[in-house]
Structure 1
Amino acid sequence: MSAPVPVAESRVAVLVDCDNTTPEILEYALRVVAQFGRVVLRRGYGNQSTLGKTWQDALVRQAFTPCLQYQYAAGKNTADIALALDALEAMFDHRADKFCLVTSDSDFAYLCRKLRERGATVCIVGEAKTPEALRNASDQFFEWRPAPTPDAETAAGVPTLPKPDLPKQPSIKRRPRFVLEAITLLASNTSEGRVHLSALGQYLKRTDPSFSPASYGHSGLVDMLKTYDLLALKRETGGHYTVGLSEMRLSENAATGASSANGN
Structure 2
Amino acid sequence: MVGENTARLAVLIDADNARPSITEDLLAEVAKYGTAHVKRAYGDWTGTNLKGWKEHLLAQSIQPIQQFAYTTGKNATDAAMVIDAMDLLYSERFDGFCIVSSDSDFTRLAARLRESGLIVYGFGERKTPQPFVAACDKFVYIENLTSATTPEEIAPKQKTATAAAQLKANSALVNQLRNAVEAASDDDGWAALGSVGNIITKQRPDFDSRTYGYTKLSDLITATTLFELERRSPGEGKSAIIYTRDKRRRPVG
> Within 5 A, what are the aligned runs for 1:240-259?
240-246=241-247
Structure 1 residue aligned with 2:182, among 181, 184, 188?
Answer: 184
Supply the RMSD in Å over aligned alpha carbons.
3.0
**1:250/1:186 CA distance change after superposition, 3 Å:** farther
**In structure 2, do the counterparts of structure 1 residues 226 and 60 end up closer, same or farther at CA, with 3 Å as the change threshold?**
closer
In structure 2, give the amino acid aligned to 1:147: T
Give 3-state SS (helix, strand or coil) of 1:200's partner: helix
| 8 Å contact kept, 1:14–1:39 | yes
Task: Write the distance in 2 (CA, Å) between the matches of 1:228 and 1:77.
Answer: 44
What corresponds to 2:16 in structure 1? 19
- Indicate whether 1:103 and 2:122 are aligned: no
SS at 1:76 equivalent: coil
1:139 equivalent in structure 2: 137
- In the other structure, the counterpart of 1:33 is 30
Counterpart contact for 1:230–1:249, Cα < 8 Å = no
Whole-Å separation in 1 of the counterparts to 2:115 and 2:6:
21
Deviates more, 1:57-66 or 1:193-202: 57-66
Mark the CA change 1:169 to 1:49 in structure 2 (over 3 Å): closer, same or farther: closer
Distance 1:68 1:234, change over 3 A: same
Q: SS in structure 2 opposite 1:19? A: helix
Deviations 1:193-233 (A, max 9, x none): 43211110111122222222333344533333345566444
CA contact (8 A) 2:9 2:97 kept: yes
Return the offset for 1:37: 2.4
Equivalent position amino acid for 1:12 in 2 = L
Matching of residue 67 in structure 1 with residue 69 in structure 2: no
Q: Does 1:172 align with 2:155?
A: no
Q: Tell me the alpha carbon deviations over residues 35-70 of structure 1, each in whole angstroms, 9 at most, x when there is no partner.
A: 222221111111231686343333233222221122
* Residue 207 (structure 2) pairs with residue 206 (structure 1): no
Counterpart in the other structure of 1:80: 78
Q: 8 Å contact 1:51–1:68 — kept in the other structure?
A: no
Superposed displacement of residue 113, structure 1: 1.1
Alpha carbons of 1:30 and 1:241: their partners in 2 closer, same or farther (altered >3 Å)?
A: closer
1:44 corresponds to which letter in structure 2? A
- Identify the residue that residue 53 of structure 2 maps to in structure 1: 55
Contact (CA 8 Å) 2:39, 2:62: kept in 1 or not?
yes
Q: Is the 8 A contact 2:96 2:120 kept in 1?
A: yes
How far off is 1:75 after superposition?
1.6
Give SS of 1:72's match. coil
TM-score computed with the length of structure 2 as normaliser: 0.76
- TM-score w.r.t. the length of structure 1 is 0.73
Rg comparison, structure with higher value: 1
SS in 2 for 1:241: strand
Distance 1:81 1:50, change over 3 A: farther
Indicate which of 209, 214, 217 corresponds to 1:221.
217
Greater share of helix residues, 1 or 2?
A: 2
Q: What is the CA–CA distance in structure 1 between the aligned matches of 2:162 and 2:28, rounded to whole Å?
A: 26
Distance 1:57 1:228, change over 3 A: closer
Offset of residue 185 of structure 1: 3.3
Cα offsets for 1:87-125 (capped at 9, x unmatched): 121122023222111111111111111111111111122
1:128 Cα deviation after fit = 2.6
Structure 2, unaligned runs of 5 or more:
153-158, 235-239
